[in-house]
């Protein structure tokens, strides 16, 4: 098998997709997200935190203060490609799945690292 074949096979291989969470084990605060490639996004989250470049400043501060052992990287839910639909676009289903988990966990304010979603017409 050539290198080109290996690259093609890798690109055709479906990676686990779904909803993930980075959870502070000390106080339970969470960052919740979605991805079409869960292993890669969890690796990216961990790498950004390790090197001090995470986009969420509060999470980065806690990581710096508490260290990596105070955090868990979790897959909350996965999404399967429907049988016989290789052209399946998971974007809408991932948004719905994320919304369900955000409603369940409410990772905002003191419970999380995320901003509460804006309500149309609401002032901040």
Domain residues of the chain, as ranges?
A: 15-78+86-111
Give the helix/strand (H/E) hosting 35: strand 30-35
Supply the pLDDT for residue 43.
Answer: 98
Closest listed residue to residue 73, CA positions, set 81, 63, 83: 63
Cα(38)–Cα(80) distance, integer angstroms: 13
Please tell me the pTM assigned to this model. 0.84
Pick the CATH number of 15-78+86-111 from 1.20.120.640, 3.40.1440.10, 3.40.50.720, 3.30.9.10: 3.40.1440.10
Q: Identify the three-state secondary structure at position 99.
A: helix
Closest listed residue to residue 115, CA positions, set 59, 53, 37: 59
Supply the pLDDT for residue 52.
Answer: 98
The rounded average pLDDT for each run of 10 residues, N- to C-terminus, in the chain (124 residues) is 77 84 98 97 98 98 98 97 84 97 96 87 64
**Beta strands 71-79; 17-24: pairing state:** antiparallel
């Amino acid at each position: 098998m050539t290198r080109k074949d290996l690259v093609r096979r890798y690109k055709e291989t479906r990676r686990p997709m779904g909803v993930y969470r980075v959870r502070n084990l000390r106080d339970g605060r969470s960052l919740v997200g979605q991805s079409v490639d869960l292993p890669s996004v969890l690796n990216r989250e961990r790498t950004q935190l390790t090197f001090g470049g995470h986009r969420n400043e509060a999470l980065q501060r806690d990581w710096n203060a508490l260290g990596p052992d105070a955090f868990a990287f979790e897959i909350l839910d996965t999404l399967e490609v429907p049988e016989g639909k290789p052209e399946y676009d998971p974007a809408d289903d991932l948004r719905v799945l994320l919304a369900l988990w955000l409603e369940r966990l409410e990772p905002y304010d003191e419970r999380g690292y995320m901003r509460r979603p804006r309500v149309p017409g609401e002032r901040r």
